[in-house]
């Protein structure tokens, strides 16, 4: 049978896990999805730590957030794909780090990134993040997602809480003109939070990059042009 080539990967699609292996159907589906996912293949080929990296690449290519010399805070950073993109596009170096990242999961060092291994919801996390940067951030990124417990409404609410805390943090620390990008869910962002963001930023939009799986309710909320604190 003729195999179609995968885009943007280059490896063939429709690979299957051999039946001999004893796997739960859900595990089998997950592995097959990974094997056939062009972004997973591209990440492997290009040395990126996550397929999620391409979501930021796409959003940044279209909306121009990252630039040389900009300071970045990355919330929920492990395994570090977004950090890699931020370092490359800001020109951050170990001598002059421009990127500060936080995750309660450990991650391998990324040269040019100051990594905090702690919960962003800890009281002293904001202060520690700010101390890791030599000045106010130009961009606050959040790809945080709460660990799922399998109860859809609970999972949804826990991630939406992270969105709210990240948004409040961004509005507290961003440099005027700065940007805030966060993962959210379709239909998930509270009107009150959207209104608050619209008051504080020049433009607020939802974006769904191609690298975000079509079947996923995941969506990104982008607030551009922080107007500054009153």
Ligand X SMILES: C[S@@+](CC[C@H](N)C(=O)[O-])C[C@H]1O[C@@H](n2cnc3c(N)ncnc32)[C@H](O)[C@@H]1O
Cα 31 vs. chain centroid, distance in angstroms? 22
Tell me how many degrees the CA angle 52-77-138 measures, rounded to the nearest 5: 100
Encode burial over 74-83: b for 16+ CB neighbours within 10 A, e otherwise: bbbbbbbbbb
Decide: is 168 part of the binding site for ligand X (CB under 6 A): no
Decide: is 185 part of the binding site for ligand X (CB under 6 A): no
Instruction: Round to whole Å and give the CA distance between 217 and 230.
Output: 34
113: three-class secondary structure by DSSP: strand
- The interface region with ligand X, picked from 119-127, 171-179, 188-196, 200-208 by CB under 6 A, is 119-127
Instruction: Round to whole Å and give the CA distance between 179 and 203.
Output: 10
Decide: is 149 part of the binding site for ligand X (CB under 6 A): no
Site string for ligand X, 22-61 (x = CB under 6 A): ---------------------------xx-xx--------
Q: Is 82 annotated as a binding residue?
A: yes
Q: Is 143 annotated as a binding residue?
A: yes
* Residue closer to ligand X (CB basis): 80 or 97: 80
Is the CB of residue 166 less than 8 Å from the CB of residue 181? Answer: no
Q: Is 134 annotated as a binding residue?
A: no
The tokens for 34 are 């990974």
Q: Is 60 annotated as a binding residue?
A: no
Instruction: Choose, from 4, 20, 96, 183, the residue flagged as catalytic.
Output: 183
The yes-or-no answer on residue 96 being catalytic is: no
Decide: is 180 part of the binding site for ligand X (CB under 6 A): no
151: left (phi over 0), alpha (psi -120 to 50) or beta: beta
Binding positions for S-adenosyl-L-methionine: 80, 82, 103, 119, 143
Q: Which residues are catalytic?
A: 183
Q: Which parts of this chain interact with ligand X (CB under 6 A)?
A: 49-50, 52-53, 76-82, 102-105, 119-121, 143-146, 162
């Amino acid at each position: 049978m003729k195999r179609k080539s995968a885009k943007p990967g280059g490896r063939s699609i429709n690979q299957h896990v051999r039946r001999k292996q004893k796997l739960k159907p859900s595990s089998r589906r997950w592995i097959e999805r990974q094997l056939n996912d062009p972004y997973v293949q591209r990440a492997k080929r290009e040395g990126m730590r996550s397929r999620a990296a391409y979501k930021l690449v796409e959003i940044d290519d279209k909306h121009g957030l990252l630039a040389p010399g900009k300071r970045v805070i990355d919330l929920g950073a492990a395994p570090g794909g977004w950090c890699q993109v931020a370092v490359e596009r800001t020109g951050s170096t170990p001598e002059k780090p421009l990127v500060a990242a936080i995750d309660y999961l450990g991650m391998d060092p990324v040269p040019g990134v100051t990594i905090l291994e702690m919960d962003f919801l800890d009281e002293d996390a904001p202060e520690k993040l700010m101390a890791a940067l030599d000045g106010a951030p130009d961009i606050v990124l959040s790809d945080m997602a709460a660990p799922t417990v399998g109860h859809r409404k609970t999972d949804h609410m826990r991630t939406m809480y992270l969105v709210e805390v990240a948004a409040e943090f961004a509005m507290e620390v961003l440099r005027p003109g700065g940007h805030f990008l966060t993962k959210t869910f379709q239909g998930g962002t509270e009107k009150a939070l959207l209104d608050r963001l619209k008051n504080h930023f020049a433009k607020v939009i939802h974006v769904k990059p191609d690298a975000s799986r079509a079947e996923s309710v995941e969506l990104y909320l982008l607030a551009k042009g922080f107007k500054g604190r009153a």
